[in-house]
Amino acid sequence: MNVHHSLPVPTLELDSVAFNHRGQTLLKPISLRLAGCQKTLIMGPNGAGKSLLMRLAHGLLTPTSGKVRWQGAPPAQAMVFQRPVLLRRSALENLTYVLAINKTPRPELKGLVRKTQAMSALEKFGLAHLAKRPARVLSGGEQQRLALARAWLLNPQVLFLDEPTSALDPAAIKAVEDAVLEFHHSGTRIVMTTHDLHQARRLANDVLFLHNGELIEHTPADDFFTAPTSSEAGAFIRGELVW
């Protein structure tokens, strides 16, 4: 179902993007550029501002100052959260619903076709046998795969994932990582937060490291893990920077 993206992913630019809440600076001005179909991992201790940065980039939050812009037309985007937000419907209906309300990617899809597309997404993510089960009684790992199947149907050019594996066991983590790679192979750019250094090493092309609401470094993954430029990132990698 996921249409291979032959068009280049537009570059995301943040120009001095800052976020305040009730007079408190939660994100200091951040400027960055995410170009190409890469996998960018956002890392940093609890409360560093990783989720805020991602929500600003995705457009769920409006910056207090600065600009978030895409070079060219804004791409189709989807976001997967730590705890999936699912409808009180079956797994299958969660997917057919998304196809019904979204104009993309196939506005002409009718009920039966939507059901077929939704079933094939369930199959792709190993959930076909759970199609009729209420989504909210699925296990954490199954719910996360359902959220990924839903995102798959949106055919995003950019996929944001906010700690998608933090509550999952190793097998479920592997399933989510495989899905992330599948998105990437189909031409989707990945932007993801994680606390898991091993996961970041497995997935990242580049790393954004945040600390206390500040972007401390944006580094190719190999450099980040072997020779981080900041003392904070070094301490974080050694497990010494807890907050």
Ligand X SMILES: Nc1ncnc2c1ncn2[C@@H]1O[C@H](COP(=O)(O)OP(=O)(O)OP(=O)(O)O)[C@@H](O)[C@H]1O
List residues near ligand X by CB under 6 A.
Answer: 21, 26, 44, 46-52
Quick check: helix, strand or coil at residue 213? coil
The residue among 8 and 45 lying less far from ligand X, judged by its C-beta, is 45
The residue among 64 and 205 lying less far from ligand X, judged by its C-beta, is 64
CB of 9 to ligand X, least distance (A): 24
The residue among 10 and 213 lying less far from ligand X, judged by its C-beta, is 213
Buried (b) or exposed (e) across 191-224, using 16+ Cβ within 10 A?
bbbbebeebbebbbebbbbbbbbbbbbbbebeeb
CB of 236 to ligand X, least distance (A): 12
How far is 178 from 210, CA to CA, in rounded Å? 26
How far is 175 from 234, CA to CA, in rounded Å? 29
CB of 240 to ligand X, least distance (A): 17
Within 10 angstroms of residue 100's Cβ, the number of other Cβ atoms is 13
The residue among 25 and 38 lying less far from ligand X, judged by its C-beta, is 25
Peptide bond into 105 cis (omega under 30): yes
The residue among 52 and 158 lying less far from ligand X, judged by its C-beta, is 52
The residue among 47 and 126 lying less far from ligand X, judged by its C-beta, is 47
Q: What is the CA radius of gyration of the chain?
A: 18
CB of 39 to ligand X, least distance (A): 18
Contact 135, 91 (CB under 8 A): yes
CB of 189 to ligand X, least distance (A): 20
The residue among 213 and 228 lying less far from ligand X, judged by its C-beta, is 213
How far is 212 from 47, CA to CA, in rounded Å? 7
How far is 216 from 10, CA to CA, in rounded Å? 24
Token pair recorded at residue 60? 């769920």
CB of 118 to ligand X, least distance (A): 31
CB of 198 to ligand X, least distance (A): 17
Contact 207, 193 (CB under 8 A): no
